[in-house]
Amino acid sequence: MLVLGIETSCDETGIALYDTDRGLLGHALYSQVEMHNEYGGVVPELASRDHIRRVLPLIKQTLAVANCDLHQVNAIAYTQGPGLAGALLVGASIGAAMSFALQIPALGIHHLEGHLLSPLLSTPAPSFPFIALLVSGGHTQLMQVDAVGQYRLLGETVDDAAGEAFDKTAKLLGLGYPGGAALSKLARRGQPGQFKLPRPMLNSGDLNFSFSGLKTAVLTLINKQDSTDQIRADIALAFQEAVVQVLTEKSLAALSQSGLTQLVVAGGVGANEQLRKNLSYKAGLIGATVFYPELEFCTDNGAMIAFAGAMRLQAMPKKNLQSASSFTVKA
62 binds ligand KG4 (CB under 6 A): no
Cα 71–Cα 73–Cα 75 angle in degrees, nearest 5: 130
Number of residues interacting with Zn ion: please give it, by CB under 5 A: 2
DSSP 134-147: EE-SS-EEEEEEEE
SS (H, E, C) 291-328: ECCCHHHHCCCHHHHHHHHHHHHHHCCHHHHCCCCCCC
CB of 243 to Zn ion, least distance (A): 18
Whichever of 19 and 111 has its CB closer to ligand KG4, that residue is 111
13 binds ligand KG4 (CB under 6 A): no
Whichever of 164 and 300 has its CB closer to Zn ion, that residue is 300
Whichever of 86 and 137 has its CB closer to ligand KG4, that residue is 137
Tell me which of 167, 262, 300, 309 binds Zn ion, using CB under 5 A. Answer: 300
CB of 164 to ligand KG4, least distance (A): 6
φ/ψ of 18, rounded to 5, equals -120, 130
Return the residues of window 173-232 that contact ligand KG4 according to CB under 6 A. Answer: 178-181, 184
DSSP 157-208: BSSS-HHHHHHHHHHHTT--SS-HHHHHHHHTTPPTTS-----TTTTSSSS-
Whichever of 178 and 200 has its CB closer to Zn ion, that residue is 178
* Cβ-based neighbour number of residue 185 at 10 Å: 14
301 binds Zn ion (CB under 5 A): no
Nearest to 321 by CA among 46, 15, 74: 74
Q: Is 26 annotated as a binding residue?
A: no
91 binds ligand KG4 (CB under 6 A): no
Chosen from Zn ion, ligand KG4, none, partner binding at 95 (C-beta under 5 to 8 Å by type): none
Q: DSSP assignment, residue 79? A: E
Number of residues interacting with ligand KG4: please give it, by CB under 6 A: 19
What is the strand order of the sheet 262-266 is part of? 150-156, 140-147, 130-135, 262-266, 289-291
Tell me which of 126, 254, 300, 310 binds ligand KG4, using CB under 6 A. Answer: 300
Residues 6+ apart with CB under 8 A from 203: none
Nearest to 2 by CA among 78, 95, 98, 69: 69
Whichever of 83 and 126 has its CB closer to ligand KG4, that residue is 83
Tell me which of 167, 260, 306, 311 binds ligand KG4, using CB under 6 A. Answer: 167
Cα 14 to the chain's mean position, in Å? 13
Cα 155–Cα 160–Cα 166 angle in degrees, nearest 5: 110
13 binds Zn ion (CB under 5 A): no
Task: Tell me the helix, strand and coil percentages in the chain, rounded to 5.
Answer: 50, 20, 30
Contact by Cβ (8 Å): 85, 8: no
CB of 270 to ligand KG4, least distance (A): 8
Q: Is 186 annotated as a binding residue?
A: no
Return the residues of window 122-141 that contact ligand KG4 according to CB under 6 A. Answer: 136-138
Nearest to 311 by CA among 12, 23, 10: 23
Per-residue binder mask for ligand KG4 (CB under 6 A), 232-271, x = binder:
-----------------------------------xxx-x
114 binds ligand KG4 (CB under 6 A): no
Q: Is 270 annotated as a binding residue?
A: no
Query: Contact residues for Zn ion (CB under 5 A)?
Result: 136, 300
Query: Contact residues for ligand KG4 (CB under 6 A)?
Result: 10, 136-138, 163, 166-167, 178-181, 184, 267-269, 271-272, 299-300
Binding-site positions read 111, 115, 134-138, 167, 180, 272, 300
Binding-site positions for substrate read 134-138, 167, 180, 272
